[in-house]
Amino acid sequence: MNDQYQANNIFAKILKGEAPCIKIFEDDYTLAFMDIMPQKEGHALVIPKQAATTIYDLTDQAALACMKTVQKVGKAVEQALNVQGTSIVQHNGNAAGQTVPHFHFHVIPGSLHGLKAH
C-alpha cells in the first residue's frame, strides 16, 4: 500500500465486499465491474486488487494483470453489444479528473466523441 492510499474509498469497499457491484470478471489480481453511472451502455471498470491510487503506484504484476483484464473485458463487451472498437480511458490525480482514488481503467464500447471528458 502506498502512503497516500485512502483505504476507505468506494472501490476498496467493493474489493472487500463491503459495497455492491455488478461483477463481470475477477482473477487473483484484478476485478472488473459495470460503472454505476455509465457514459455509454456497457461502460465497465477494471481495477487492481493492489491498493494503488494511480498508474504510478502499480506493481509490475498489477499493471500487467490490469492490461490482460482490459483485453478480456473490452473484447467481451464489444461482442456482447455487437459494437466495433473500444475506448480505454484512465485518469491519474484530481487535476486529471480522477474522482475515485483507486487506480482504474474505464472500458467504454465504441467512440468517446460527444461524451464529457470523464
Site for ligand 5GP, rule CB under 6 A: 10, 19, 21, 33-37, 91, 97-100, 118
Q: Which of 13, 28, 115, 27 is nearest to 106 (CA)?
A: 115
CA dist., res. 107 & res. 114, Å (int) = 16
- Residue 82 or residue 101: which is nearer to ligand 5GP going by CB? 101
- Could you tell me the smallest distance in angstroms from the CB atom of residue 25 to ligand 5GP? 14
- Residue 82 or residue 95: which is nearer to ligand 5GP going by CB? 95
Q: Pick the catalytic residue from 91, 102, 104, 106.
A: 104
- Could you tell me the smallest distance in angstroms from the CB atom of residue 50 to ligand 5GP? 17
Catalytic site includes residue 118: no
- Residue 16 or residue 82: which is nearer to ligand 5GP going by CB? 16
- Could you tell me the smallest distance in angstroms from the CB atom of residue 98 to ligand 5GP? 4
107's enclosing H/E stretch is: strand 105-109
3-state helix, strand, coil in the chain (%, to 5): 30, 20, 50
Contact 28, 64 (CB under 8 A): no
What are the φ and ψ backbone dihedral angles of 47, each rounded to 5 degrees?
-130, 150
Residues carrying an active site annotation: 104
